[in-house]
Amino acid sequence: MADARLPQGWTLQQIRDVSGDREAAALDPDRSAKWVSFAGAHEMLRPEIVLGFHSLCLVKPVDDDDWYMGSLYDDGSIDCWAAYDDLYEALRGL
């Protein structure tokens, strides 16, 4: 199982400060994540970094510079439904 990672240049405290979530955590990226479009189509993502915020999360895929916001389910899987090109804006969007 892979280790949880933080985005380069960010500390967990900075992530908590910007998001407003004092319990934000870096999660193990070894999980199922998919991008779900409003048309019902979906695309599997390969998470490199996953940040958890209770039932929400942000996912940075391996081959993409965008950050995807989604729902974090009890089984650890993620359905993403919004994308941001900047981590700061994604954190503010929570």
- pLDDT surpassing 90 at residue 40: no
In the chain, the number of structural domains is 1
Q: What is the pLDDT of residue 78?
A: 97
CB-based contacts of 57, cutoff 8 Å, min separation 6: 27, 50, 51, 69, 70, 71, 72, 78
pLDDT at 71 > cutoff 60: yes
Residue 28, domain extent: 12-92
Closest CA to 78 of 31, 37, 46: 31
Let me know if residue 29 belongs to a domain: yes
Whether the pLDDT of residue 53 is over 60: the answer is yes
Question: Is residue 50 in a domain?
Answer: yes
**Residue 74 pLDDT > 90, yes or no?**
yes
Does a structural domain hold residue 51? yes
Residue 17 lies in a domain: yes
pLDDT digits (tens, 9 = 90+) for 8-38: 999 999 999 999 999 999 999 999 999 998 7
7 lies in a domain?
A: no
5 domain-assigned: no
Residue 67, domain member (yes or no): yes
Full-model pTM: 0.93
